[in-house]
Amino acid sequence: MFILKVCRALSRYKIPYALVGGHAVALHGAVRGTIDVDFITKISLKNFKLIAHALSEIGLSSRLPITPEDLFAFKDEYIKNRNLIAWNFINTKNPSEQVDVVITFDLLGKKIHKMKLNKDVINVISKADLIEMKKISGRQQDFIDIEALEVLDEKK
């Protein structure tokens, strides 16, 4: 399972992370299909370097020709002037294996839920923080995800 491979790689290097995006929505109980694995981390040069190394070990490479140093030094410029919201990694031998490191949000101050997936324990952003992130992002899919997550709360 690709999501576990990613989470294991991040954990092996003690990279602080939380799953966000479609997988987090699904793990919180809403039906949601997605291919890529999205996560946030504590924004730092050290973490960007570790992420690049960990993902490289599982066969992924940056889709953009940028280094961890470039991303850290010019993150705000990339976001503002190039509309970059995530640092994308892909397995060129298996393009269905993709990871997005979301750079518009920092893990600092977010709540993490430890969730069991098969025999592994993975870090998933709390439902409240996920909803807040999706409100800020404001894409159509985000509003659909918010509605699905809020319906779950109403059913409780």
The reported pLDDT for the residue numbered 26 is: 93
| Residue 144 included in any domain | no
Q: Model confidence over 48-71: pLDDT tens digits?
A: 999 999 999 999 999 999 999 999
Task: Identify the pLDDT of residue 155.
Answer: 61
What kind and span of H or E run contains 100?
Answer: strand 98-102
Q: Range of 18's domain?
A: 2-138
Has residue 25 been placed in a domain? yes
Structural domain total, the chain: 1
User: 110 and 18 in contact (C-beta within 8 Å)?
Assistant: yes
Mean pLDDT computed over 110-129: 96
Q: pTM for the full model? A: 0.93
Q: Looking at residue 120, which CATH number applies to its domain?
A: 3.30.460.40
